[in-house]
């Protein structure tokens, strides 16, 4: 290993076999906003095989305090395309594919045919549940995260082994969500939650997701982190047996 190789700081942590696993893993990032931009940046930088970026939105000025792949010059441009351009400059060894289409069951199914791991970095629960259902059907690991104001949570769904998002959150009708595209959030809070999600993508690629069957809840105003054990419900309409 050369000292200045692209992955020379990472390989001592994950090992050469671990880097080979990463290199053979493809990832779909659903939502390239406050969470998805940072997750994608770390995944592409880490040398994953292929990264699909799914987002139908365009860059707006209020995005820039937290969505790290965009600049003022990108305002008005499709997020998927702008993010792909920035990420290709970070690591041309990774195939980066922009998908500037709205979330639908058919789209989610088609994307998940092509990847090993899905990332839910979306900002609304309707789209999250569409991706969740497709991940369960396809047997794909799904790393889920959400953030609002100073708070957030992260979990990893492993189909047929852990609760899915419908199992965990489907019963709640008043979960925080963005209203008409407005999400109150502190930029660094999105960065912390996104970093935790990115770590789980690496863990999943290495075969040991740390948050499978667990829900990590973070209160960054008070620097409080809680891990809740979550059991799978066999009668869940999406992931039940």
Residue 177: pLDDT over 90:
no
Please state the rounded mean pLDDT for residues 54-82.
Answer: 96
Q: In the predicted model, what is the mean pLDDT of the chain?
A: 93
Pairing of strands 117-120, 26-30: parallel
pLDDT of residue 24: 97
Residue 3: pLDDT over 70:
no
The domain locations on the chain are 16-171+180-229
Please state the rounded mean pLDDT for residues 229-241.
Answer: 88
* Model pTM above 0.85: yes
Q: Concatenated DSSP letters for 59-79?
A: --GGGTTT-TT--GGGTTSBH
Sign of CA dihedral 159, 165, 169, 173: negative
pLDDT of residue 173: 46
Tens-place pLDDT, residues 80-107: 999 999 999 999 999 999 999 999 999 9
> What share of the chain in percent tops pLDDT 90?
85
pLDDT of residue 174: 47
Kindly compute the dihedral angle of the four CA atoms of residues 219, 150, 134, 82, in this order, to the nearest 10 degrees.
-140
Coil, helix or strand for 192?
helix
Fold of 16-171+180-229: Rossmann fold (3.40.50)
* Long-range contacts of residues 224-232, Cβ cutoff 8 Å, at least 24 apart: 230/155, 230/162, 230/163, 230/168, 231/163, 232/161, 232/162, 232/163, 232/167
């Amino acid at each position: 290993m050369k000292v200045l190789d692209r992955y020379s700081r990472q390989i001592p942590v994950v090992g050469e076999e671990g880097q080979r696993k990463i290199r053979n893993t493809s990832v779909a990032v659903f939502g390239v906003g406050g969470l998805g931009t940072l997750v994608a940046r770390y995944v592409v930088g880490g040398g994953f095989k292929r990264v699909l970026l799914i987002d139908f939105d365009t860059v707006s000025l209020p995005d820039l305090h937290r969505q790290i792949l965009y600049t003022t010059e990108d305002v008005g441009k499709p997020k998927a395309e702008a993010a792909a351009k920035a990420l290709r400059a970070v690591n041309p060894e990774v195939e980066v594919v922009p998908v500037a289409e709205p979330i639908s069951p058919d789209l989610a199914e088609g994307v998940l045919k092509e990847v090993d791991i899905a990332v839910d970095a979306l900002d609304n629960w309707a789209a999250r549940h569409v991706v969740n259902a497709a991940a369960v059907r396809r047997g794909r690991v799904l790393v889920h995260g959400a953030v609002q104001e100073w708070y957030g949570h992260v979990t990893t769904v492993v189909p047929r082994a852990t609760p899915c998002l419908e199992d965990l959150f489907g019963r709640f009708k008043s979960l925080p969500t963005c209203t008409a595209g407005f999400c109150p959030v502190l930029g660094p809070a999105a960065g912390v939650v996104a970093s935790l999600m990115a770590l789980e993508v690496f863990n999943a690629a290495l075969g040991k997701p740390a948050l499978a069957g667990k829900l990590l809840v973070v209160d960054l105003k008070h620097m409080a982190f809680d891990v809740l054990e979550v059991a799978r419900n066999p009668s869940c309409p999406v992931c039940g047996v």
